[in-house]
Structure 1
């Protein structure tokens, strides 16, 4: 499989952790994200909130981009992250907002 045809998980960890990659691709993104109980937009909002709360900037970057692609607007993400500041901590929100700014202005 060419690198372009590989998923992001395969590119990052395919040689090191093939079972984690399979679970990521098949279960997380194959089943969980495909569940129609939540729209991709809503699923992105929940994921951005969780990654902000847990201060996971490496994962947050990709999910902010996905949130924008799934129909969330920059203003909605700004409002969500501002709201999260009061529940998840100011530093987490400031970091998330800095990432969003860099992505939105790129």
Structure 2
């Protein structure tokens, strides 16, 4: 296990060190680094899954990370709109509220 400070270790490593280790080494160190999908595509998939499940707290990390990974704010909005019909209107409305909170540069 690496001892370098990471988001997982800083966020919850003191409470759940094994979960932080798995997050760093397996999820972000292996799964997110696999070459057959770009990080941009992985971000779109992850954000869509979070919206479909109504996991708004996890959007705090993944929506801004998606933008860093090359997903545009307009693409996130389009995804939310599309998912309103496949994942449910309430899930899309919750995701939209979280988007507005996290990506303020796009708020008009």
What is the Cα deviation at residue 104 of structure 1? 2.0
What is the Cα deviation at residue 38 of structure 1? 0.4
Counterpart-to-counterpart distance in 2, 1:50 and 1:69: 18
Counterpart-to-counterpart distance in 2, 1:25 and 1:94: 31
* RMSD between superposed Cα atoms in Å: 1.2
Aligned residues: 102
What is the Cα deviation at residue 87 of structure 1? 1.1
Structure 2 residue aligned with 1:16: 15
Query: Unpaired runs of 5+ in structure 1?
Result: none
Structure 2 residue aligned with 1:34: 33
Counterpart-to-counterpart distance in 1, 2:28 and 2:55: 18
Q: TM-score, normalization: structure 1?
A: 0.90
Structure 2 residue aligned with 1:58: 57
Counterpart-to-counterpart distance in 1, 2:83 and 2:13: 34
Counterpart-to-counterpart distance in 2, 1:103 and 1:17: 26
What is the Cα deviation at residue 61 of structure 1? 1.5
Query: Unpaired runs of 5+ in structure 2?
Result: none
